[in-house]
Amino acid sequence: MVFIHNARVSQRVAFTLVELLVVIAIIGVLVALLLPAVQAAREAARRSSCAANFKQVALALHNYHDAHKVFPVGGGISGGCSGKTEKHLFSWGVHLLPYLEQSARYDRVDFISGAQPINNQANFQSNANPDAALGPVATYLCPSNPQSDVMVNPGFAALLEALPRSDMAGVADSRDWRCNSSGTVGVRPRSDGNGILFAWSKTSFKDITDGTSNTLIVGEITGDHRVTTSSSPTALNGNSYTVYDLFDTSSGINGPFTVPGGGTYAFRPQGFSSFHPGGAHFALADGSVRFLSETLDQSLLSGLSTRHSGEVLGEF
């Protein structure tokens, strides 16, 4: 019997260098095409999570109103506007804790001993306790914010210890959230804000004559993710839900006093901003949540910020 050897069968099959480079190039192109889609999907998920947090806060505000017949006080001080020195009491974010399933933290807060439960050094040490009392609350944070610090230095009373971060703030006014005393802009919240949450505010639904579906109550804010308390313990780098957590809309969304707006973070005057592309989340007084564009007409944004100015608003 004669066996014929087939050289083609025994020949080893392999890629040439050129073929390998082509395959690598194709894979690289596919990855380059896929990566933006993956990043967009991740941002969509983060944005959805952030909107859900705003919805929880909006519902908590409604539940607080149901229990107390008013929304929580916006800020617990307005000294200078009234011509007298006032106590440093807590902002709306602290009073809302029991309605965000944070009763354990709320119950550990010292509201009554001492004149100033935060500015007083001894009381501050007990209240600003991340493991027990005033620590990070996930509902107040937005996953799109790249800031690693959950305890930040907001520049309050020159205290170097950190306070729990918040990526939300009350909408106090359409003009300036700070008080104006004798023609000089102060550093504390004004008590005559035309929004819903301002210093010593006691706003109820009946006060929102512009309509709850046309009035903002809480908006998204950002600090400076490039500054950390560990590397720069005295630098200002964020906002806290505990004090002074009120701002105005006069500089628009992602304005010049914010990092997303291309500026330098400034606790005063600041403004509303987010690391989401193109805008920021806001909760309205009716409990709904909207993502407002950074290109929103300023007059419309101002009208949405006031509770009783009688503006005729367009679509937003």
pLDDT digit string, tens, across residues 252-265: 999 999 999 999 88
Name the phi and psi angles at 210, rounded to 5. -75, -10
The lowest-confidence range among 155-159, 230-234, 309-313 is: 155-159
Residue 11 confidence (pLDDT): 57
DSSP secondary structure code for residue 72 in this structure:
P
Regarding predicted confidence, which is higher, 74 or 131? 74
Does 85 have pLDDT greater than 90?
Answer: no
Residue 160 confidence (pLDDT): 54
Q: Tell me the average pLDDT across 88-114.
A: 89
Prediction pTM value: 0.85
Position 118 confidence tier, pLDDT thresholds 50, 70, 90: low
Does 12 have pLDDT greater than 60?
Answer: no
Domain boundaries, the chain: 52-305
**Upstream peptide bond of 154 is cis (omega within 30 degrees of 0):** no
Question: Residue 214: CB partners within 8 Å, gap ≥ 6?
Answer: 284, 303, 304, 313
Does 18 have pLDDT greater than 70?
Answer: yes
CA distance 167 to 138: 10
Residue 300's identity, in one-letter code, is L
Residue 184 confidence (pLDDT): 56
CA distance 226 to 223: 9
Q: How many residues does the chain have?
A: 316
Residue 13 confidence (pLDDT): 63
State both tokens at 127: 């209240």
Regarding predicted confidence, which is higher, 39 or 130? 130
Residue 117 confidence (pLDDT): 67
- At 97 the three-state DSSP class reads helix
Q: Where are the alpha helices (DSSP H) in the chain?
A: 7-10, 17-68, 92-95, 103-108, 121-127, 298-305
Residue 87 confidence (pLDDT): 72
Residue 144 confidence (pLDDT): 94
Q: Tell me the average pLDDT across 187-198.
A: 91
- At 214 the three-state DSSP class reads helix
Residue range 193-241, pLDDT digits in tens: 999 999 999 999 999 999 999 999 999 999 999 998 888 877 889 999 9
Position 93 confidence tier, pLDDT thresholds 50, 70, 90: very high
State both tokens at 17: 């260098």
Q: Report the chain's mean pLDDT, rounded to a whole number.
A: 86
Contact 73, 101 (CB under 8 A): no
Residue 112's identity, in one-letter code, is I
CA distance 178 to 258: 17
DSSP secondary structure code for residue 151 in this structure:
E
CA distance 188 to 176: 11
